Structure formats: structure tokens, C-alpha cells
Structure 1
Amino acid sequence: MTTSGDSRGTGLDQDGCFVREGSLERVPAPFAPVVAELTALLATRFAPDRLVSSYLYGSIPRGTAVPGVSDLDALLVLRTDPTDADRAAARAVETELDAAFPQIDGAGILLIAEERLLSAEERYDTGWFVACLCTPLSGPDVTAALPRYRPTSLLARETNGDLHRRLPGLRERAAAATTQEERNRLTRGVTRNLVRTGFTLVMPRWGGWTSDLVESAEVFGHYYPAHADQMHAAARAARHPAAYPELLDDLLNGLAPWLADEYLAVHGAKTLPPQGP
């Protein structure tokens, strides 16, 4: 791994643009039946005039998934804004997959309308995410019309420049969690987000991309050594949240507020969505 601030990182092509990570060819053998069943269930639960395209993202298409530990992540592009029926169908698919395949620790399906995905407001957030971090599973790749992306401050701001807005809600959720299962789930989500936010904070300086949480923490620590230990702890807890029962509160009251302030100082705040009439 290259961590020198003077050297280009990984994940870019010769022009300095993101290389799309993941592919169906990289799906580990234990997860191939899960992906096949996902494809079949989507065809059953969503009509062709409703579902435009489906994508995989996360460790399964990157080829790094661990049976019994990793979850399955998918994103569906719909013709129009998701309805209650669409959300119910997605939840049903998640439940069926989680019950049928012990090799996944849950399934998660995101929904977005094609028009919104391709909008100017989403160009450097969800648009970038689907174009660069998602693997086409079925249907046309709707991101073909989007620009090529580079690891810029603009991209950093629009992807993770809202931690300061989300932090109060995360603290409320942590305070309201009454079971260890709830805290484990929240710890996993918060730690993943903090590590990725820490990485995108330094991404333009590093000049590359990685989705690997351990590598992300290492790259971050090169630029902010005083906070490296906390970020490494967050990366470990993202994989094994139950092993770090006290870390969630420590992060939400220590690393997270510092990271939110530093992000604002370096990249600014993420653009707020346009308000309705």
C-alpha cells in the first residue's frame, strides 16, 4: 500500500479517474448462490416496468467477503420514486435472503429513482457511488451518462460533508438502543461511516481510492497520527462490533465531533437538497 502524501494512491486509472471496483467475476464461491437467488427474487418481486437496473456493492463484488461475517448490499434503480409497495418488496427480499443463507450476516437493499440518481444534486454523491463503487447485476448501466470522477475536494464534500448534521441523530439512536444487538448494529454502521469519512477527508491529498476499512484507517493515520489509534479501533469494530461494547459512545463523543469539525474546515459542508415549495 502507498501512503506517502507525494505518491498517487490506488483505485485510479492512468488518467487519474476512478476505476470501478468490483465485478461479478470476483464474487467468492460461497456467495454465488446468494447473488443468484437475489437476481431471481428481484425478477419475481419487481415488475419489468418498475425495476430499471440492479447493482451489488460492498465486500461481495469486491471478492473480500467472509462467510458468516459479511452482509449482502444491493441497490435498485426504479422508474420513479420508491413507493411503499417497492419498500415492502425490498424488505421481503432481504428477509428471504437472510433466512436462507447463513453465509451472509443480513441483506440490505437501497432504492432510488433513475431521475434522482442522474440529477445534478446526486452527481457527486449517489451518482458517483453507483458509477464507481457498484457492480451492475441486471439491466442497463444507467450511470453511463455520468462524468468520470477524480478524488477531488468537491467529491469529498458531497459524499461525506454532512457528519456534523447527522451526529446529533446518531447520539440519540445510541442513547435509545436498549439491547446489545441494537448497539452492535449501530456500532457497525457508525464505525464504517467514520472510517470512510476519515478516509475521504484525506482522499484528495492521498490521490486515490480504497474501500478497504483497514487500509482506509492506515491512510488516514498517515495524515492525522494523533487520531490514528481511534480510527484503527473503529475499523476493527466495523468487522466485529460485539467485541467493542464501549467504543460506540467513545467515538460519538470523541473522534466523531472532531472529524465533523475538521471536515468542515477542510472541505466545507455538503450541499443541502433543494427545498420544496
Structure 2
Amino acid sequence: MASKGLDAEGHIAREGSLARVPHDFRAVVAATRARLPAVFGARLHSAYLYGSVPRGTARPGRSDLDLLLALREEPTDADREAVRRLGEGIDREFGQIDGVGTLLYSRARLLSEAERHDLGWFVACLCTPLLGEDLAAELPRYRPDTLLARETNGGLGGLLPRWREQIASAGTEETRRRLVRHMSRHLVRTGFTLVMPRWQGWTSELPEMAEVFGGYYPERAGQMRAAAERGHEPVGDAGVLRAYVDDLGPWLAEEYARVHGVKTSRPDGG
């Protein structure tokens, strides 16, 4: 019997399914599935949903639609522009979503040894097949161990300078709001995976992630709970962003490196 997001053998169980997509979001998913082949044709190997929509927890007007696309070759700038236009069109047409986020990679990268415990794990455990052959069939099973923790979220320290640049150039409240949502979610997930091997389980729900983290770091529990709330209800507050890169973020990056080490560098710096 599965427990804390694990199967009977202690592996992380794949979350989400098309059957769990809420009724309000089914038309969005159907339209996306119908339009993707026209954008990429035979170059598209497979497409996946992830996030709250396939988990069944999406909220109309508040949740975004998250996609991962695997191409048969390396994506180009033109591919990224095509994905951007597709996402903008879907976002305009369907008011029940608040934006479309799309990850675009080659099949080879997703199955590479370097990504085995990062993007590979993401596909195998957190993505729901939408189109094409499921890459999970070519990936291993995963346990909530320190290797997975390091390779998924051990790169926070390297992200902080980029985050500071993004904050400095955020000239509108809407831009700051989107940064708060993105950074809040990243910090909560990093806090959770910091303690995941001790907790021995998996969840993708931000409030539960924050509570699990707080059980091991009570002195930071309030900050993480607040970040979880802002991950769902972001505010365009520059003070929140500064606190992330001046306090919570640096502390979390240092503690993560102490406990699990730093994520293995990628050839492209990712």
C-alpha cells in the first residue's frame, strides 16, 4: 500500500493522471493536445502535463497550465518562440488558467545519464503523459534519498545571483508578482527536498511541503509557510523578493550544500 507518496516498495509513486484533471480544465487540456502536433509535427516525441492540473488540485482563474515537451532533436530558438506563442494563445482563450509554462527539451537530454536524477526523475515521477511514447519506460525507479535531493534542488546557490538580477530589472508589479510566485515555489520545494530523505516520502503540495520542512527546522517554519502561501497567492512586493535573496535563499543554499552537497554541474550550465 502506498504511503507518503511512495509505492509498496518504497519508490516515489508517479503522481497525477488525465483522469484527475478537474472538469473546468478539461477543455484546456484537450485544446493543448490538439494543437501541439501542428506546431512540431513528427519532431515531437512526447508531451506531458505536470503540476496542479493533472494532480486534480488546480483552481480556476488561479492555476497555470504546466507542460513538458520532448523533441526528437535539440530545441531551437524558433521552437521556443513557437511554444511561447502557443502558450499565449491558450492563455488568452481560456480564462480558467493563469498562464502557460512550458519546458522544452530533447529526448536525448531527458534520458541522459547527467539528468537521470533531475529531469529524468521529473518525467518519471511528476509528469503525466499527454501525447506520444512515455519516456518513463526507459527510466529507473526512484527513492527519496540524498542523491535525488542533491541533483534536483542542490543548485539554489547558483541561482541566487540570477534571481537578484531579475529582481533589479522587475519594473512592474505584475512582473514582481510572477517572480514571487516562481521563487516562492522554488524555495518551498528546495526546503522540502532538504528534509525529504529524513521524512522518507514525497508530496508536491506546497502547504504540506512547508509543514514537513518546519518539523525539522522550526526556526524557519514561519518563513516557509509564508512562502507556500505566496506560491499560491503571489503579491508584487519587492520586499518579499529581497528577503528571499538576502535571507531565506542564502541560508537554504548553505544548509543544502552542508547536508547534501551541490548539484553536479551541467555542460550548458543548467
Task: Provide Cα deviations, 1:43-102, integer angstroms capped at 9, x if missing partner.
Answer: 211112x00000000000000000000000001100010012211221121011001000
- Matched residue, 1:251: 244
- Residue in 2 aligned with 1:101? 94
TM-score, length-scaled by structure 2: 0.96
Match of 1:74, SS? strand
**Pair 1:160–1:40, CA change in 2 (3 A):** same
Aligned ranges 1:169-248 → 2 under 5 Å: 169-242=162-235, 246-248=239-241
Kindly provide the amino acid, as one letter, of the partner of residue 77 in structure 1.
Answer: A
Map of 1:13 onto structure 2: 7
Is structure 2 residue 257 aligned with structure 1 residue 264? yes
User: What is the letter of the counterpart of residue 37 of structure 2?
Assistant: A
Kindly provide the amino acid, as one letter, of the partner of residue 14 in structure 1: A
> Which of 17, 26, 31 is residue 32 of structure 1 equivalent to?
26
Mapped contact 2:123–2:135 kept (Cα < 8 A): no
RMSD: 1.4
Q: What is the distance in 2 between the residues matched to 1:124 and 1:179?
A: 36
Paired residues, number = 268
Q: Secondary structure at the match of 2:171?
A: coil
Aligned to 1:5: none
Distance in 2 between residues matched to 1:275 and 1:89, nearest whole Å: 22
CA contact (8 A) 1:9 1:207 kept: no
Farther off after superposition, 175-184 or 189-198: 175-184
- Deviation of 1:168 after TM superposition, in Å, equals 1.2
The separation in 2 between residues aligned to 1:126 and 1:275, in whole angstroms, is 14
Deviation of 1:176 after TM superposition, in Å, equals: 1.5
- The CA deviation string for residues 132-188 of structure 1, in whole angstroms up to 9 with x for no partner, is 000000101012111100000000000000101111111121122111011001010
- Is the contact made by 1:56 and 1:73 (CA closer than 8 Å) also made in structure 2? yes
Q: Match of 1:100, as an amino acid?
A: E
CA contact (8 A) 2:176 2:237 kept: no
Q: Which amino acid aligns with 1:81?
A: E
| TM-aligned CA deviation for residue 111 of structure 1 | 0.7
Q: Distance in 2 between matches of 1:242 and 1:170?
A: 17
SS in 1 for 2:69: strand
Residue of structure 2 in register with 1:159 after alignment: 152
**TM-score, normalised with respect to structure 1:** 0.94
Shift of 1:273: 1.4
